[in-house]
Structure 1
Amino acid sequence: MSLHALKETLRPCTTQSSASISQTQSSIFLDSDLAIPRKPPKSSVIQQLRRLQDPLSAPPIQPHGSQKRERERDQKSGGREDEEEDEEKEEPELKRARSGGVKLSHFQFDHTGPFEPLLLSSPGEVPVIQIPASINCRLLEHQRVGVKFLYGLYKYNHGGILGDDMGLGKTIQTIAFLAAVFGKDGEHVRRGNQGEKRDPVLIICPTSVIHNWENEFSKWASFTVSIYHGANRDLIYDKLEAHGVEILITSFDTFRIHGSALSDINWDIVIIDEAHRLKNEKSKLYTACLEIKTWKRIGLTGTIMQNKIMELFNLFDWVAPGSLGTREHFREFYDEPLKHGQRSTAPERFVQIANERKQHLVSVLQKYMLRRTKEETIGHLMMGKEDNVVFCAMSELQKRVYSRILQLPDIQCLINKDLPCSCGSPLTQVECCKRIVPDGIIWPYLHRDNPDGCDSCPFCLVLPCLVKLQQISNHLELIKPNPKDDPEKQRKDAEFAEAVFGPDIDLVGGNAQDESFMGLSDVKHCGKMRAIEKLLFSWISHGDKVLLFSYSVRMLDILEKFLVRKGYCFSRLDGSTPTNLRQSLVDDFNSSPSKQVFLISTRAGGLGLNLVSANRVVIFDPNWNPAQDQQAQDRSFRFGQKRHVVVFRLLAAGSLEELVYSRQVYKQQLSNIAVSGKMEKRYFEGVQDCKEFQGELFGICNLFRDLSDKLFTSEIIELHEKQGTEHGYTTEQELTDLEESSAPSEEARVTRKPDLEELGIVYAHRNEDIVNFGPGTQGKIDTSISRSDSLTGPCIPKHRKNKPNFVVEKQKVPLIDERKRIQYKLLARHMGMGELEFSKWLLTVTPSDREKVLEDYKKRKKTPNS
């Protein structure tokens, strides 16, 4: 293909929106049943460190194993195999694929959609419900499946959850579904039923994406869309009552405050974007949403469960009331068994019960939920993502300050709360003399208007103390007074800083905020910045582009001064950035080769942050909610990303952040168990919301433990490995390349230690290897919805006969359709390419070229002697 033809192929269509262009380009690959998760090429921390020795001459990291596979293929075959060799190699693979008794289907490429409607209603059903051709031709196959799922819920008057990963087009699937239901076509004319009056649709979403919804409706279909937000609410309400609105969009805050007026309207469908906001049944938003008068309730969220299993009940009890029984039934039948079955020392009986309840819960949830991941849908079009968790040693000064804060009277009161009181009474300290802390530093400020304390004393100290510990873990400058605060708070913060700095106060420039550019940009007193200094130099020397996240605006200020000092070209976006400027910042970073780093506040999410030009992501400080960190990673890892994404999550070793990360792992595993039915490793003894089994994770005493003398996370993982070996359920590769690099050979030992010490890294691993154990629930689960399904009665489990006993072993079950993967591999071999090279080639050719490859391959199979 000539260069001119290639450019013409890749040129965007001027008649389509940018969203539709990306959807069209990504649908050229495989049929609906084929999902090839591309395993991320592994580039261990030691490989990153070795690049630091000579960053300008070291080659960029290549996909793991790709060169080796190419060399082996060339050595074995001397180039392209002839047909006889193809057939010989194909036969055993196909034989293994047929061992399941299923006939091989013909391999086909998935075209961009045909310009014809997609029928949703049953044949002969009136009225005919179909996706208009103008939309269907721009949908990916997984999006067509999503629209069919939504229509299935609508048809039988049910609600449900569309739980696709961020970036898979939940908004587009919803609009396509509404266009079908409302009878829209490409010419923006109603089909046949122009005189029919339909109840409107209500969409509730975050304020930041209101206009995104409005824009997407204008691009994909013709609706009468109004926004119920701001000063013109009364006018929009009058228009709504006059049946002049088809789609009404409002924000969470507006609906929470004015929801009573909107609840009087008869809505056809109610859609809540970011539906995980309904996780708290005590919130005013949840209460307001319960008043909505319709059974057709649809939730859109990529994080169905964030913190607790009971959040699942709250969400599903809104979209499909009664589907999970009563709250008490759900807690006793699902929540408690699943949590206790995940304990590292849980009896075998508990593990068996948890597995049975997990299987049943997943079977129920999947009737009302459709969830797909990027790996299952568009993984073959992306290079993959590697999520590294890096434990950075705090500087010696940080360690001393961290130790001093643990000795403050405020924190000692919390640590010793359950000890007998020193006055000799039979009560504990928290019940007697130590309920208040007048000699503390934080407590007197919190209770400056109430010297006798509050009803929650001393537990009101927990959150302020945790914030201080996290600030010290990140940068010592963060605990100094902020000039933007009121004078009283500045005085208190100065007193606190002086107490914890102690004799080291001169090393940090006193207890007032440092205004010195050189002082703020210096890395010697911050362990994480020491690591970032080396890594950024390596990455930028190799042409990588970096996203640098922090939830603290003050930390972003410090990092900005550091970048200026190092001479890096960067952009910045936080909560103070005007909404109308955000997209231009994103576009400029994606298009400009000179922009090397993008500083972003973790809290500044929402519209437009699709930063696919970056292939390195650094999360400077972890969040208690793992969904926040995952969302930050997905700013770069989404469709359009052409390079392998490497994520570095930085944690301060020996600090509270280790406990934060451990709780992230705990929450992610519970979510995988309850939502996907996966089998997860059992690391922890602690059980959430259970005082009898607080273990190493939960309880105030664990939050304020001194972890400076141990590797908290690595010790837990190593203990699991030993127990797993004894019980026979270790995985085939328990230690990843990150771990193997610590002692695979004498040469690696010599290289690793000085490199890690220079960077200040004491330990590292990959998050996916720690969290994930095995595939999801096996066997076919009935997820269909019939007219007879009751949404009002409790969900009573049915006991199955001859149910096999649960065995704690790794089941080697393929996550994808192995038969089609084999056929894809043979096609790549037929072209003389590797799988990755073949995938890239497919993206640059026309449908006719792809068809020609298939025809040539089929002819070659029929005529083996040619």
Structure 2
Amino acid sequence: MSLHSFKEALKPCRNSSSLTSSTIQSQSSLTQTLEDPTIPRKPPKSSLSQQLLRLQDPLSLPPIQPQSQPKQTHDQNGMEDENDEKDDDPESLDYEKPKVGLFEFDRIGPYEPLVLSSEGEFPVIQVPASINCRLLEHQREGVKFLYNLYKNNHGGILGDDMGLGKTIQTIAFLAAVFGNDGDCMDSTLLKKNQTAERGPVLIVCPSSVIHNWESEFSKWANFSVAVYHGANRDLVYDKLEAHEVEILITSFDTYRICGSQLSEVNWEIVIVDEAHRLKNEKSKLYIACLEFKTLKRIGLTGTVMQNKIMELFNLFDWVAPGSLGTREHFREFYDEPLKHGQRSTAPERFVRVADERKQHLVALLHKYMLRRTKEETIGHLMMGKEDNVIFCAMSELQKRVYRRMLQLPDIQCLINKDRPCSCGSPLTQAECCKRTVPDGKIWPYLHKENPDGCDSCPFCIVLPCLIKLQQISNHLELIKPNPKDDPDKQKKDAEFASAVFGTDINLVGGNTQNESFMGLSDVKHCGKMRALEKFLFSWISCGDKVLLFSYSVRMLDILEKFLIRKGYCFSRLDGSTPTNLRQSIVDDFNSSPSKQVFLISTRAGGLGLNLVSANRVVIFDPSWNPAQDLQAQDRSFRFGQKRHVVVFRFLSAGSLDELVYSRQVYKQQLSNIVVSGKMEKRYFEGVQVDKLIFFCFSFVLELCY
């Protein structure tokens, strides 16, 4: 049939009144299309386009045509598609109403690969265009940094702030190194050859983020990923030996237990997520991670240093052995001068030496570490964060119990430890007659098997005393016996509770755990809960969503009863929440307008959670480690947050909480000096040593009285 005859056959019947206007318009448009070959055709359903559609990339969708030019689709032969009548219906044009997914149009870069290798280098190493178009500028710089580490055959630290996409940068880097272009042409034989040539990649991370890693790999690239965790470990290891696995993901605990088997594999790259877990050189995890045969070790962490400067050395000595010298050299050349130069009364010479060593250390660290903050990268995309410290007045009952605690023989022994002994000897009380506390409420239980004391007496009771002081500051119910403990400990805690409650024991329901719902949910005897009650009423009435963090699961139980009594709709996540249910709980909170408060354990919920629907964060009880509170804040203050985030740290005024917060400031200052090279004001006279913490008792005593 000639083209003219074909067009005549497609002409509408002039005598027919049953034809709809849409059909006539469709046929006339088709005639124009056949005569005008410049109208773009529908893109072929290639594997790359399918991959982009799976990633919800708007670039993979056909362009939207103006309403005055109805669009027709044709196959490769120029014939009309059999579904054209359906395409005329506006409701059926799904591709004209793209659903913007995780990334919007203004956050998509040019659709072109990111070349990482040098000019003239072969083969060309590049990030696929399907991944590069989704990266932000700081993420492209991070990928280049990771590739430079890989090319130079040594490790390093990607130390970006939490929420800047360290996982995405890592996946983009691996896709470039392995030549993974995101295409579906992934024959088993080709993957086996690539894995055998390069070796697989091991990712060690907390168990709570394993599923997040697995999910991100499925969204961004086309790797063969296996999880070495749980009962199927042997099966996964067999696949690894058969070169059928490119990426192996395991948890810290699993690797610590089965590290001897995995350390025998010739890994191409080893990546440790939340690498600050390697801060202690004496831990079993750190010792196990030293067994890796590869030098291409990459650490991902937003808190490079948490408590002390030597943690920094341990981390860098793992990723790049010998980069900071020996341990003794680092301690003498960097650790001691930096700590003493930060004292408020440090001589000018100490300050000058500390500044010189700081600049030298920062320049050395930049060779192996890339660190960016939210303010300097995506600050223009966010509404900012405000940090507030709320000093909550303790209730009168809390104050009386707190003072009785300070009068216990155990606490008095530590407060008076440096005073001359009353027996007349030249030794201090802690070195002579008051080294043991047989009449105390805490010391006898710790030394029930050695009544003469231990080598650390009386300093062995410091930590238990600090815990009790913090519990009183948070809620009086916390110092009562826990039914989950063994009978001996419950008996000891009951005696301790009776001693500190004294004549007020009836006001708190006795020295055993209170089972009364009304009693536990009452805010009368807890200063922090009284403040929380007022804040929540104001926030919920304004439509705000709240993240409520506590270090104690028992405290979460009390707060849960309080929220039920007030009628607030809430979610909860703690260490007992199954790993496979955590993401669904998070998604439900983010998507449900009725969910107003999220109760979260600081330790269980500080990692891997994206809770950008909340704009108010409450740290109910501060942690000695400032990184844990910062990680809790960044569950809300991260990329994707559309509102101004306000953080509230609750401190019981005149209690140990104030000392905990001051220690957080001290540690954060050291971190800023060492890692970022910042100049910090010298607030503190003390230097961080093991026994510095003992001055807290006299400090607390002075505050309370």
- TM-score clears 0.5: yes
Return the alpha-carbon distance in structure 2 between the equivalents of residues 504 and 613 of structure 1. 43
- What corresponds to 1:138 in structure 2? 134
Matched pairs, number? 609
- What corresponds to 1:234 in structure 2? 234
- What corresponds to 2:9 in structure 1? none
Any residues of structure 2 matched to 1:424-823 within 5 Å, and which?
424-605=424-605, 609-689=609-689, 698-703=692-697, 705-707=699-701, 709=703
Q: Which moved more, 1:174-183 or 1:600-609?
A: 600-609
Q: Counterpart of 1:253 in 2: which secondary structure?
A: helix
Return the alpha-carbon distance in structure 1 between the equivalents of residues 612 and 579 of structure 2. 20
Return the alpha-carbon distance in structure 2 between the equivalents of residues 606 and 250 of structure 1. 19
Q: Counterpart of 2:298 in 1: which secondary structure?
A: strand
CA contact (8 A) 2:406 2:701 kept: no
CA contact (8 A) 1:209 1:606 kept: no
| Post-superposition offset of 1:372 | 1.0
Distance 1:22 1:389, change over 3 A: farther
- What corresponds to 1:157 in structure 2? 153
Q: Which letter maps to 1:428?
A: T
**CA displacement 1:364-396 (0-9 Å, x = unmatched):** 111111111111111111111001011111111
CA contact (8 A) 2:156 2:316 kept: yes
Return the alpha-carbon distance in structure 2 between the equivalents of residues 345 and 17 of structure 1. 59
Distance 1:709 1:326, change over 3 A: closer
| Post-superposition offset of 1:700 | 1.2
Q: Which letter maps to 1:503?
A: T
Return the alpha-carbon distance in structure 2 between the equivalents of residues 23 and 598 of structure 1. 23
CA contact (8 A) 1:183 1:190 kept: no
Return the alpha-carbon distance in structure 2 between the equivalents of residues 24 and 594 of structure 1. 26
**CA displacement 1:774-826 (0-9 Å, x = unmatched):** xxxxxxxxxxxxxxxxxxxxxxxxxxxxxxxxxxxxxxxxxxxxxxxxxxxxx
| Post-superposition offset of 1:464 | 1.1
- What corresponds to 1:307 in structure 2? 307
Return the alpha-carbon distance in structure 1 between the equivalents of residues 698 and 504 of structure 2. 22
| Post-superposition offset of 1:549 | 0.9
Return the alpha-carbon distance in structure 2 between the equivalents of residues 428 and 574 of structure 1. 45
Distance 1:238 1:689, change over 3 A: same
Q: Does 1:16 align with 2:12?
A: no
Distance 1:419 1:386, change over 3 A: same
Distance 1:606 1:661, change over 3 A: closer
TM-score norm. by structure 1 comes to 0.68
| Post-superposition offset of 1:528 | 0.9
| Post-superposition offset of 1:526 | 1.1
Q: Counterpart of 2:266 in 1: which secondary structure?
A: coil
- What corresponds to 1:86 in structure 2? none
- What corresponds to 2:13 in structure 1? none
Any residues of structure 2 matched to 1:313-462 within 5 Å, and which?
313-462=313-462
Return the alpha-carbon distance in structure 2 between the equivalents of residues 291 and 544 of structure 1. 49
RMSD over aligned Cα, in angstroms?
2.2
**CA displacement 1:401-427 (0-9 Å, x = unmatched):** 111111111122222223333333333
Q: Which letter maps to 1:700?
A: F
| Post-superposition offset of 1:703 | 4.1
Q: Which letter maps to 1:482?
A: N
Q: Does 1:184 align with 2:180?
A: yes
Q: Per chain length, whose mean CA-contact separation is higher, i.e. which structure has more relative contact order (CA < 8 Å, sep 6+)? A: 1
Q: Which letter maps to 2:694?
A: I
Q: Counterpart of 1:706 in 2: which secondary structure?
A: helix
> Which of 117, 120, 128 is 2:116 aligned to?
120
5+ long unaligned stretches in structure 2? 1-51, 60-99
| Post-superposition offset of 1:430 | 2.4
TM-score norm. by structure 2 comes to 0.83
Distance 1:581 1:244, change over 3 A: closer
- What corresponds to 1:224 in structure 2? 224
Return the alpha-carbon distance in structure 2 between the equivalents of residues 596 and 708 of structure 1. 40
Q: Which letter maps to 1:24?
A: F
Q: Counterpart of 1:24 in 2: which secondary structure?
A: coil
> Which of 149, 171, 190 is 2:167 aligned to?
171
> Which of 122, 129, 133 is 2:125 aligned to?
129
Distance 1:231 1:585, change over 3 A: closer
Q: Counterpart of 1:227 in 2: which secondary structure?
A: strand
CA contact (8 A) 1:622 1:657 kept: yes
| Post-superposition offset of 1:308 | 0.5
CA contact (8 A) 2:227 2:250 kept: yes
| Post-superposition offset of 1:708 | 5.5
- What corresponds to 1:99 in structure 2? none
Distance 1:432 1:707, change over 3 A: closer
5+ long unaligned stretches in structure 1? 1-12, 29-110, 692-697, 712-866
Return the alpha-carbon distance in structure 1 between the equivalents of residues 701 and 277 of structure 2. 34
Q: Which letter maps to 1:377?
A: T
**CA displacement 1:413-457 (0-9 Å, x = unmatched):** 222223333333333322333222221111222222333333332
Distance 1:304 1:607, change over 3 A: closer
Identity among equivalent positions (%) equals 82
Q: Which letter maps to 2:556?
A: L
CA contact (8 A) 1:229 1:250 kept: yes
Q: Which letter maps to 2:335?
A: D
CA contact (8 A) 1:480 1:513 kept: yes
CA contact (8 A) 1:117 1:132 kept: yes
Q: Counterpart of 1:513 in 2: which secondary structure?
A: coil
- What corresponds to 1:864 in structure 2? none
CA contact (8 A) 1:212 1:607 kept: no
CA contact (8 A) 2:269 2:297 kept: yes
Distance 1:580 1:210, change over 3 A: closer
Q: Which moved more, 1:539-548 or 1:602-611?
A: 602-611
Any residues of structure 2 matched to 1:238-257 within 5 Å, and which?
238-257=238-257
| Post-superposition offset of 1:605 | 2.1
CA contact (8 A) 2:574 2:600 kept: yes
CA contact (8 A) 1:201 1:248 kept: yes
Return the alpha-carbon distance in structure 2 between the equivalents of residues 185 and 702 of structure 1. 58
